[in-house]
Amino acid sequence: MKGIKIRGTGRCVPQGVLTNQDLSQRMDTSDEWITSRTGIRRRHHCKKETLTGLSLQAAGEALRKAGVAPEKIGVCVVATVTPETLVPSTACMLQRELGLAEDTLCFDLNAACTGFLFALHTVECLLQASSRPFGLVLGAEVLSRIVNWEDRSTCILFGDGAGAVVVESREGWPSIGAVMGCVGNDRLLHVDGPGSGRPPLLSMEGQRVFKFAVEAVPRCMDQVLERHGVTADQVDFFVFHQANARIIDLVVRKYQIPAEKYYINLEEYGNTSAASIPLVLSELEEQGRIKAESRVLMVGFGGGLTWGGALVEFAEGAYGDERK
């Protein structure tokens, strides 16, 4: 059996920034309410940028930092619920723009905010059967295009961005041992698709999703730790889906995770759904806080409802020369 490790990360967020102050001029809300309930202060929203463009930048950076040529990629999966086009998939456009080989398996995947972890798990499985050792995994969203600006309890939460990782698959490396699941629920978090005949606007029962998250995150963490036979203090870093700082605080307190072992960036980006975990990975790598052999436990949750967790290692020599 082969396992995967991360060799390089990349990210791209649009330039346009919407602060809580900006929002309070457009609707009945305040910086104080948003900050105290969520931890969010700003979010980046696309103006001219596109989901494909953000994805291309993030993927290019990840390939460069990994020192991996595009033609060595065997699988490319983009987790998104906001593709620029349903057909072709974002991943197909990456094939063309990055120059991936024509027999690379390229497709988009929807598991809402857990999408990146579903994609990572999928890529690990598909690389078992690939003749090439590398995979490209993205989480990318332009949620600003589907938020309902009439609903102040949700529109203040979401931002746009793309994060990417290049993984390598090798015999003898540990599997990420992903735990994933879903339970169909079309009310708690909902976005209509083209088949519904209704416009794609995001709606959410925030309090009920909050309760689900507070139960699902520790459950996933316990399952991942058990599957890998490690305790929480043997993990080098924890990366949580960035939905609400209060959810992260509750988990961190429950496991007594020290401040230097987890990271919150939703203050700057808001909730970027599938992009949130790879955006964190990319910032951590850039800051030198995740290095070769670091073991990182990631947990996500979101619409579907979906949840997932995995423990991934970073590879020796990742990020090529730029890392030194």
Catalytic residue positions? 113, 241, 271
Residue nearest to ligand UT7 (CB): 206
- CA 35, CA 293: separation in Å to the nearest integer? 35
Nearest distance in Å: CB 106, ligand UT7: 26
Return the closest-CA partner of residue 243 out of 312, 143, 314. Answer: 143
- CA 143, CA 174: separation in Å to the nearest integer? 34
Q: Between 97 and 151, whose beta carbon lies closer to ligand UT7?
A: 151
Q: Segment 135-154, which members bind ligand UT7 (CB under 6 A)?
A: 152-153
Return the closest-CA partner of residue 7 out of 158, 178, 123. Answer: 123
Q: Between 253 and 324, whose beta carbon lies closer to ligand UT7?
A: 253
Nearest distance in Å: CB 189, ligand UT7: 6
* Interface with ligand UT7, residue 156, by CB under 6 A: yes
By the 8 A CB rule, do 318 and 125 touch?
no
* Interface with ligand UT7, residue 67, by CB under 6 A: no
- The two tokens of residue 279 are 């955006």
Q: Between 198 and 211, whose beta carbon lies closer to ligand UT7?
A: 211
Q: Between 301 and 319, whose beta carbon lies closer to ligand UT7?
A: 301
Q: Segment 21-40, which members bind ligand UT7 (CB under 6 A)?
A: 29, 33-34, 37-38
Q: Cis ω on the peptide bond leading into residue 199 (within 30° of 0)?
A: no
Q: How far is CA 81 from CA 34, 114, 255, 302, in A?
A: 24, 11, 31, 12
Amino acid at 302: G
Which of 15, 21, 196, 207 contacts ligand UT7 by CB under 6 A?
A: 207
* Interface with ligand UT7, residue 213, by CB under 6 A: yes
- The two tokens of residue 218 are 């520790």
Which of 91, 127, 209, 216 contacts ligand UT7 by CB under 6 A?
A: 209
- CA 213, CA 224: separation in Å to the nearest integer? 16
* Interface with ligand UT7, residue 223, by CB under 6 A: no
Nearest distance in Å: CB 208, ligand UT7: 8
Q: Segment 99-128, which members bind ligand UT7 (CB under 6 A)?
A: 113
Burial 155-185 (b: 16+ CB within 10 A, else e): bbbbbbbbbbbbbbbeeebebbbbbbbbeeb
Q: Between 92 and 277, whose beta carbon lies closer to ligand UT7?
A: 277
Question: Interface residues with ligand UT7 (CB under 6 A)?
Answer: 29, 33-34, 37-38, 113, 152-153, 156, 206-207, 209-210, 213, 243-244, 271, 273, 302
